Amino acid sequence: MFELTALEQEALSLSLVVASWAVIISLPFAIGIAWILARKDFWGKIALDGLVHLPLVIPPVVLGYILLVGLGRNSFIGNLLYETLGLQFVFNWKGAALAAAIMGFPLMVRAIRLSLEAIDPKLETAAKTLGANSLAVFLRVTLPLMLPGLIAGLFLAFARAFGEFGATITFVSNIPGQTRTLPIAIYTALQSPGGDAAAARMVVISIVIAILALILSEVLGRRIRKRIYGS
């Protein structure tokens, strides 16, 4: 039952690559936005917070359409990226990674923000009074203390990116070897006569990978918290 065909293995491999790159793309931006939301008060903060969480509440197909219109070859930005950098998002795995990154971004930001808000700002202030600059304070004080939330955000975003379907198929279509990730492969199998067995195999694999991501997030988070706080 669990012996995958070459096309199914290809879809699984592509999903892992897309989800991994989605997390890598999101991480620096997520840390920056989470820090701003946790540490700064400014006009428009509520609007920024709402914009960050927008992918959670709009249909993924809507996001895929926005990306298609905004980054397609016929759009100004899409054409500029292609002509100057040779970069094309539509109809290739880079677009799938971008769509997955945006869909998982709110989960990463929220986990990191909650972790930052749990850190006593007096610890950072004390480090500054001892002569550390802002970068040193972040790297030596803030970052180690926020690691549990960072790890949780990484794995949550990975799981969300791995399972992304609507935005991906709308933005980059369904191309074997390029954009057919595991969720799209499941959909394709269900549309094919006799494809139920293949769909079932891939569904089981998807669930197992999602559960493993959540378990790893919890285990690593507990170990890091124990190392930091001793309990």
Instruction: Write out the two tokens for 165.
Output: 């379907």
Q: What is the mean pLDDT of residues 41-61?
A: 93
What are the residues whose beta carbons fall under 8 Å from the beta carbon of 163, sequence distance 6 or more? 183, 206, 210
pTM of the model: 0.89
pLDDT at residue number 184: 94
Q: What is the per-residue pLDDT across 79-117, written as a single tens digit (0 to 9) for each? A: 888 888 888 899 889 999 999 999 999 999 999 999 898
* 27-38: average pLDDT: 93
* Cα Rg of the chain, angstroms: 20
- Quick one: what percent of the chain has pLDDT higher than 90? 54
Residue located via tokens 């949780």 = 152
231 pLDDT band, cuts 50/70/90, is low
Element (H, E) at 31: helix 6-39
Q: Please report which helix (H) or strand (E) contains residue 228, including its range.
A: helix 196-229
User: What is each CA distance from 32 to 28, 29, 81, 147, 195, in whole angstroms?
Assistant: 6, 5, 24, 14, 44
In which region does residue 184 sit, left (phi positive, over 0), alpha (psi from -120 to 50) or beta (all else)?
alpha
- What letters, b where the CB count within 10 A reaches 16 and e where it falls short, cover 14-31? bbeebbebbbebbbeebb
Overall average pLDDT of the 29-51 stretch: 92
Which tokens in the block code for residue 3?
């012996």
Domains of the chain: 6-229 (1.10.3720.10)
Torsion angle of alpha carbons 31, 36, 39, 42, nearest 10°?
-170
Q: What would the 3-class secondary structure string for 85-103 be?
A: HCCCCCCCHHHHHHHHHHH
The DSSP code sequence of 114-182 is: HHHHTS-HHHHHHHHHTT--HHHHIIIIIHHHHHHHHHHHHHHHHHHHHT--HHHHHHH---TTTT--H
